Amino acid sequence: MRDAIAAIVAIVLLVVAASLATTLQGHRRRRQRQHDSEQSLGRRIIGEIPAGDDFILVSEDESRFYYGDQSIDKDLIVAVRVLINGVPLASYVSRRHAKDDSSPTADAKRGAGVPAERVRGAGAPGVIKDGPEGIARDRWDVAVETVTGAVLIECGAIRERVSQELARKIFDAIKRELEQRDGA
């Protein structure tokens, strides 16, 4: 009797293991299709943001950044900020727009005479300082301010510095683009 129960438990465990392996293989195939699709469109993948059971890709091509299905024209980007729990940790404001007080986002946020540079988080450093312990469970986001509005790229609150590294990669890619554009 005991041997029969052990055999049934072993069979159930094998079926569960096979099911998990099949599900994992399906996720890998779907992820590979997403990567292949982005690359066939001429885009370079910057990062993969975990979202539920799937990933949202952040990518770029010559003229735009892409966050999932949303596109951000590179020529319209005014500033980029890394936010931790909604507070700017690092920022970069395009020199082309640093003194521009006429953007709709600056006008809406400025309110009672606050300069646009302060609204955009220009007081935050342009480099993310990396502490050895990291910040374990805080919310990391990247705010991309454009001439037409702002886009929030939600990197999450995952432990083991995953969200921090995603935010850093995305921020660095957009900052690099702004620096190249400002240098021209």
Per-residue pLDDT at 61: 92
* Structural domain includes residue 179: yes
* Structural domain includes residue 24: no
Cα separation, 90 vs 123, in Å, equals 8
Per-residue pLDDT at 51: 80
* Structural domain includes residue 120: yes
Contact 159, 106 (CB under 8 A): no
* Structural domain includes residue 12: no
* Structural domain includes residue 174: yes
Per-residue pLDDT at 120: 41
Cα separation, 111 vs 95, in Å, equals 22
- pTM for this predicted structure: 0.69
Q: What phi and psi values does residue 156 have, to the nearest 5 degrees?
A: 100, -170
Cα separation, 126 vs 83, in Å, equals 12
* Structural domain includes residue 31: no
* Structural domain includes residue 60: yes
Per-residue pLDDT at 161: 78
Q: In the chain, how many domains are there? A: 1
* Structural domain includes residue 6: no
Q: Closest Cα to residue 68, out of 40, 42, 46?
A: 46
Cα separation, 177 vs 152, in Å, equals 18
The residue segments making up the domain with residue 111 are 41-183
Q: Closest Cα to residue 151, out of 75, 81, 99?
A: 81
- Find the largest Cα–Cα distance for the chain: 82
Could you read off the pLDDT tens digit of each residue along the chain, which spans 184 residues? 899 999 999 999 999 999 999 988 988 888 888 888 888 888 999 998 888 777 889 999 999 999 988 999 999 999 999 999 889 989 999 887 665 544 444 443 333 333 333 334 444 555 555 554 554 568 899 999 999 899 999 988 776 578 889 999 999 999 999 998 887 5
